[in-house]
């Protein structure tokens, strides 16, 4: 074999080996950079305050992971109804979604105990962070949530709950016997104890209910109330300062979470407080803005009940909470430990929250 042919064959071999190596490298790089796509389901509209904040969380996660994680959003129950969200996440139809313990009381009896009336003061940050800490560090609640196969990954809360009516009620007693839409769970017992007739209907049905007179009043919040234009039918708002729905959250399938690279898990955990601050402060500001909008642009009256009414409402709420805790205890669940842990954490975060404003 002459030298020219030998050199040519060597070049071919080198080219083939080089091509093979290049292909292997490209495939390896493709495997490394291929993003992890997670489906996120929610009942919210993208235009709502909470919807915008959830989208911001998804965008932030993609940015902080360098594009290794992408979130595919499904809005307004297009992938799953709110009441079916836990099963949707557990089954893997979606990896992330908004849940409410109101719809899953048998799976989350301890977590639901945080949703008692008058559970959160004016500091939303404290409520969000205390809720998360109780989930992560109170052993009984932690075990309950892990058993359900989920983990909270981003913050969510309802905002301060108000009573909306067509006409101005003179007092809570003037609503006795009236049909009121409530958010469910123990708030039903609270409303019943106040002499009202509570019913549970979807937030999107409040407008028609008030308009047609099938309900006389509704527990509601400014954020979604504005999205659904409730200011057109609700002409009086009575803030009750009765707290938030906080036994909710953006959850992820725990098996999916555990399979994520450790650094991505750390990013998710690190993001929570920053987004809790953004969520809490933004919601507080939004409620102030919407209150002005509703009163000045749409003539909605905002009033408060008397101190006597408020005292009576708190007493009834305390009785409902105690009854719920005792029921948990009687069934072998340490409800008081969970509640006390949450209250202690909330007070601590309230002190810290002043510094974060």
Contact 76, 300 (CB under 8 A): no
Strand order in 150-154's β-sheet? 69-74, 36-41, 96-100, 248-253, 150-154
Sign of CA dihedral 282, 40, 152, 121: positive
Q: Which of 121, 110, 12, 55 is nearest to 349 (CA)?
A: 121
Q: For 94, phi and psi rounded to 5 degrees?
A: -135, 150
The strand ranges marked E within the chain are 36-41, 69-74, 96-100, 150-154, 162-165, 179-181, 197-199, 217-220, 236-239, 248-253, 301-302
Q: How far apart are CA 222 and CA 226, in angstroms?
A: 6
**Cβ neighbourhood burial of 211 (10 Å; 0-12, 13-18, 19+):** middle
Q: Is 94 helix (H, G, I), strand (E, B) or coil?
A: coil
Residue 83 has a CB neighbour count (10 Å cut-off) of: 15
Residue among 74, 71, 72, 70 at smallest CA distance from 34: 70
Q: How far is residue 312's CA from residue 314's CA, in Å, rounded to a whole number? A: 5
Tens digits of pLDDT across the chain (357 residues): 555 555 545 555 454 545 555 555 445 444 556 899 999 999 888 888 999 999 999 999 999 999 999 999 999 999 999 889 999 999 999 999 999 998 899 999 999 999 999 999 889 999 999 999 999 999 999 999 999 999 999 999 999 999 999 999 999 999 999 999 998 889 999 999 999 999 999 888 999 999 999 999 999 999 989 989 999 999 999 999 999 999 998 999 999 999 999 999 999 999 999 999 999 999 999 999 999 999 999 999 999 999 999 999 999 999 999 999 999 999 999 999 999 999 999 999 999 865 454
Q: Hey, what domains does the chain have and what are their CATH numbers? A: 35-157+245-285 (3.40.190.170), 162-244+297-356 (3.40.190.170)
Contact 84, 100 (CB under 8 A): no
Q: Which residue has the tokens 């007739």?
A: 197
CA distance 40 to 57: 11
């Amino acid at each position: 074999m002459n030298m020219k042919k030998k050199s040519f064959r060597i070049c071919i071999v080198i080219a083939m080996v080089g091509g093979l190596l290049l292909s292997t490298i490209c495939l390896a790089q493709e495997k490394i950079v291929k993003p992890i796509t997670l489906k996120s389901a929610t009942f919210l509209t993208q235009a709502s305050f909470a919807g915008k904040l959830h989208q911001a969380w998804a965008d932030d996660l993609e940015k902080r992971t360098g594009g290794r994680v992408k979130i595919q959003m499904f809005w307004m129950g297009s992938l799953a109804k709110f009441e079916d969200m836990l099963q949707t996440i557990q089954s893997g139809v979606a990896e992330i979604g908004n849940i409410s313990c109101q719809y899953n009381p048998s799976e989350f009896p301890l977590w639901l105990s945080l949703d008692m009336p008058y559970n959160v003061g004016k500091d939303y940050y404290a409520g969000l962070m205390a809720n998360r800490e109780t989930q992560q560090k109170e052993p009984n609640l932690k075990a309950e949530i892990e058993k359900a196969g989920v983990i909270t990954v981003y913050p969510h809360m309802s905002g301060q709950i108000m009573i909306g009516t067509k006409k101005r009620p003179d007092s809570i007693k003037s609503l006795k016997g009236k049909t009121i839409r409530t958010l469910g769970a123990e708030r039903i017992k609270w409303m019943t104890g106040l002499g009202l007739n509570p019913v549970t209907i979807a937030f999107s049905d409040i407008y028609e209910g008030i308009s047609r007179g099938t309900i006389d009043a509704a527990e509601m919040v400014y954020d979604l109330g504005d999205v659904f234009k409730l200011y057109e039918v609700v002409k009086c708002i009575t803030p009750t300062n009765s707290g938030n729905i906080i036994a909710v959250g953006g959850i992820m399938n725990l098996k999916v979470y555990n399979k994520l690279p450790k650094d991505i898990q750390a990013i998710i955990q690190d993001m929570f407080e920053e987004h809790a601050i953004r969520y809490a402060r933004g919601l507080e500001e939004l409620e102030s803005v919407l209150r002005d909008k509703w009163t000045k642009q749409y003539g909605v009256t905002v009033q408060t009940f008397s101190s006597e009414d408020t005292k009576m409402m708190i007493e009834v709420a305390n009785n409902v909470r105690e009854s719920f805790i005792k029921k948990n205890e009687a069934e072998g669940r340490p409800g008081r430990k969970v509640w006390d842990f949450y209250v202690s954490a909330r007070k601590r975060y309230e002190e810290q929250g002043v510094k974060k404003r």
